[in-house]
């Protein structure tokens, strides 16, 4: 199913649920404009309430594998392959701890996404903008040191063919290297079929939490070498399960 059809179906879904979105949106805006009135737990919980709504409306189910691989420590660098717009929602729903997100700077300017990013911990960066990327790396390094979990999609985008991962950006791994953070690889399986009407409902997306990489495992490696290693591990799982 081509991506332009995905976008069209997503727009129709938004229009169909416009009344509910309008019901959530004013409070999102209010919470973002008055951050001192709410704790981080309260804003995150409201964001997860919206995640639950979208999961239900889209008739999505998640099948989680490898939960035993998730470390009890915080400040995790959760690294996943990218297949569809819903990937962040899938990770938020399946991950047992609070989870921030690295988001494209242009996407973060859009209504609703902008507010959602403010409700949870988020860092925006502009691709191909060296200054923006350096600021994001430094900010993420500090967040990881402060034991805040973050998810990232090092491919930076997704294509129609999700069986073959795009190259992982080496720069994405500079922060966990500097922060001595644990890297948790995650393989998302079949989320690219979310908008395929031919697939049975509820549609099941697989989330495979793989064995983590501890700082001792990559202390003598460069960021690009770490990216290649993590990509290869995720690719193995995608090869095994992706439809």
For residues 113 and 54, give the distance between their C-alpha atoms in angstroms, rounded to a whole number. 13
Look at phi and psi of residue 190 and say left if phi exceeds 0, alpha if psi is from -120 to 50, else beta.
Answer: left
Cβ distance 88 to 151 under 8 Å? yes
Per-residue pLDDT tens over the stretch 74-103: 999 999 999 988 899 999 999 999 999 999
Cβ distance 132 to 209 under 8 Å? no
Q: How confident is the model at residue 5 (pLDDT cuts 50, 70, 90)?
A: low
Q: Does the pLDDT of residue 52 top 80, yes or no?
A: yes
Cβ distance 69 to 209 under 8 Å? yes
Q: Does the pLDDT of residue 107 top 60, yes or no?
A: yes
Q: Does the pLDDT of residue 155 top 70, yes or no?
A: yes
Residues 6+ apart with CB under 8 A from 2: 160
Residues 6+ apart with CB under 8 A from 240: none
Per-residue pLDDT tens over the stretch 161-208: 889 999 999 999 999 999 999 999 999 999 987 777 677 777 899 999
- pLDDT of the residue at 203: 83
28 or 10: whose pLDDT is higher?
Answer: 28
Q: Which of 21-35, 86-100, 165-179, 229-243 has the least mean pLDDT?
A: 21-35
């Amino acid at each position: 199913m081509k991506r332009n059809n995905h976008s069209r179906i997503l727009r129709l879904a938004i229009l169909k649920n416009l009344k509910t979105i309008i019901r959530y949106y004013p409070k999102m805006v209010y919470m973002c404009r008055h951050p001192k009135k709410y704790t981080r737990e309260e804003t995150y919980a409201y964001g997860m309430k919206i995640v639950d709504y979208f999961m239900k409306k889209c008739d999505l189910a998640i099948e989680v594998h490898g939960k035993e691989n998730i470390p009890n420590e915080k400040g995790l660098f959760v690294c996943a392959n990218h297949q569809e717009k819903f990937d962040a929602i899938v990770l938020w729903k399946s991950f047992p701890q609070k989870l921030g997100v690295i988001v494209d700077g242009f996407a973060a300017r859009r209504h609703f996404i902008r507010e959602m990013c403010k409700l949870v911990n988020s860092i925006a960066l502009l691709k191909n903008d060296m200054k923006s990327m350096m600021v994001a790396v430094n900010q993420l390094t500090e967040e990881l040191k402060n034991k805040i979990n973050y998810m990232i999609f090092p491919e930076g985008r997704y294509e129609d063919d999700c069986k073959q991962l795009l190259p992982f950006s080496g720069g994405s791994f500079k922060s966990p290297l500097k922060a001595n953070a644990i890297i948790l690889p995650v393989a998302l399986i079949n989320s690219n079929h979310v908008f395929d009407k031919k697939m049975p409902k509820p549609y099941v997306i697989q989330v495979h939490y793989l064995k983590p990489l501890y700082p001792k495992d990559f202390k003598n490696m460069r960021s690009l070498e770490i990216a290649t290693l993590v990509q290869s591990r995720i690719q193995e799982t995608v090869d095994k399960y992706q439809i």
